[in-house]
Amino acid sequence: MSIQSEKIKQLVERRASACLGGGREKIEAQHSKGKLTARERLALLLDEGSFEEFDMFVQHNCTNFGMDSTHIDGDGVVTGQGTIDGRPVFVFAQDFTVNGGSLSKTMSGKICKVMDMAVKAGAPVIGLNDSGGARIQEGIDALAGYGEIFERNILASGVIPQISGIFGPCAGGAVYSPALTDFTFMVRDKSYMFLTGPSVVKSVTGEEVSQEELGGASVHCSKSGVAHFCAADEKEGIEGIRTLLSFLPQNNLEEAPVKETSDPVSRVSDVLNGIIPDNPNKSYDMYGVISEIVDDANFFEVHRDFAKNVIVGFAHMGGRSVGIVANQPGMLAGVLDINASRKAARFVRFCDAFNIPIVSLVDVPGFLCGTQQEYGAIISNGAKLLYAYGEATVPKVTVTLRKSYGGAHIVMGCKQLRADVNYAWPSAEIAVMGAKGAVGILKDVQEEEYQELFCNPYQAAQKGYIEDVIEPRNTRFRIIRALEYLQGKRQELPAKKHDNLPL
């Protein structure tokens, strides 16, 4: 065998060894927990044959506590570039079979490299997390590594889409990188995120709590709102990432891809003409409205299990991506509270950052009242939503279906927050408050008188606050047509270093 052939043989063998990570025994242990390996996850995520790996032979430099005798190529993370539906993405996947996926300084360097490359190339970056946290043997070097990653998350925010998949533990400082990204996926009974684990919680507070109760997918998808998507298994989570990307542009300078559809733009929906109950206090399901107006009834919801009184998510209308924000009368009468406000505000800001038009479907009786809301800062949280709408320069189309009262009317994409086109259904009630509440304050006014004067869309139409009162069955056509002539919209914000969002 020639020297060249021998070297090629060594390369092939070393690549094969690197692909095994911590070895077959560790891989089997990963599978026994019902978990995929880092490379298996990337194989599902990326188009077949598209993955180009970077830094396969990187090793750590730590000599503490016997670490100088344990060097594994790749050092616990697989990084590289590939495509999803033919579109470039950059990826990193932590490998739990190597030192529990713990973060070293060199692992951080690999992750930071692909993040830098993603920004340069203007392509999304996807991180698949499965790690025991910082590599304790490295001390401050590991902490510095996290800091380097966080800084890149911050600099990339609003420039390229950043998506996190939590497919195992994610604890301590590691949780802040997913928290800084745009969307986070978790897997039920497999994913955990917390700053301090159950044992530390017990020693400090005396509270006994399981991993699932403290930071499982159900907690973060329904209670804290830290995670946006809760998948039944890893395959569902990875498919969700692929689907999410189909609605998004590659970066902040591009538009989202147009999707072919056979759903006619002019399609009318007679169902919508009868969807609003005669009784103004009776609820209905806003999902029914959404499915009638979007292409092929396909709605990709974000934060489905969190703050259900407001609905946010992506759809296509006329083949183009839109972000939908809708009050849900079927949950707490569609009232806005702390969680609903920050959920919707975050979504609106994402859409604005990535050139995705915002369609708002309004049926909101007001903000939730009470000491719990006031003590929890409903004022500043409601202001976040107001700020997000007012700051957004993408095309904004608002349709008021029924109630739009008081301050909640203002924060839900009203004309004064620079909505481009505002429509209302004949059933719309645009007023400071409902008739019953008003007559309790205006003693000499009859409920019927107030109802006739204010609880309709025509006063707003007479004053130019809405462009038109439309027949519900035509809502899809009217929204799409508005978005079509708003495609060339150009609107600039005043020059500033950055804003001061009421956090």
Going from the C-alpha of 483 to that of each of 362, 388, 406, 477, the distances in angstroms are 18, 19, 27, 10
* Burial class of residue 69, CB neighbours in 10 A (0-12, 13-18, 19+): exposed
* C-alpha span between 392 and 137 (Å, rounded): 46
Output the six-digit token pair for 111: 């992750």
**H, E, C per residue of 233-267:** CHHHHHHHHHHHHCCCCCCCCCCCCCCCCCCCCCC
Beta strands 310-317 and 299-302 are antiparallel
Annotated catalytic residue within 38, 383, 408, 460:
408
Which of 342, 320, 254, 264 lies closest to 483 in space, CA to CA? 320
User: For residue 295, which phi and psi values (nearest 5 degrees)?
Assistant: -60, 130
CA distances from 89 to 124, 148, 364, 451 (A): 5, 21, 39, 55
Catalytic residue of the set 22, 172, 215, 216: 172
Where do we find the tokens 């998948």?
231
- Concerning whether 407 is annotated as a catalytic residue, the answer is yes
Please name the residue that has the structure tokens 């713990």: 102
Task: Check 158, 406, 407, 437 and give the catalytic one.
Answer: 407
φ, ψ of residue 17 to 5 degrees: the values are: -65, -45
Identify the sign of the CA torsion 348, 377, 408, 369: positive
User: Catalytic one among 109, 122, 158, 173?
Assistant: 173
Provide the residue type at 53 as one letter. Answer: E
d(CA 365, CA 437): 11
* Interacting residues of 237 by C-beta distance below 8 A, sequence separation 6+: 165, 167, 185, 186, 187, 229, 231
Backbone angles phi, psi at 302, to 5 degrees: -110, 140
The residue count of the chain comes to 503
Question: DSSP letters along 268-292, please?
Answer: --HHHHT-S-SSTT----HHHHHHH
Q: Tokens 């340069």 identify what position?
A: 120
**Paired strand residues for 399:** 361, 423
| 139 annotated active-site | no
The CA dihedral of 72, 237, 255, 295, to the nearest 10 degrees, is 160
Residue 38 near residue 93 (C-beta atoms within 8 A)? yes
> Would you please indicate which residues are annotated as catalytic (active-site) residues?
172-173, 407-408
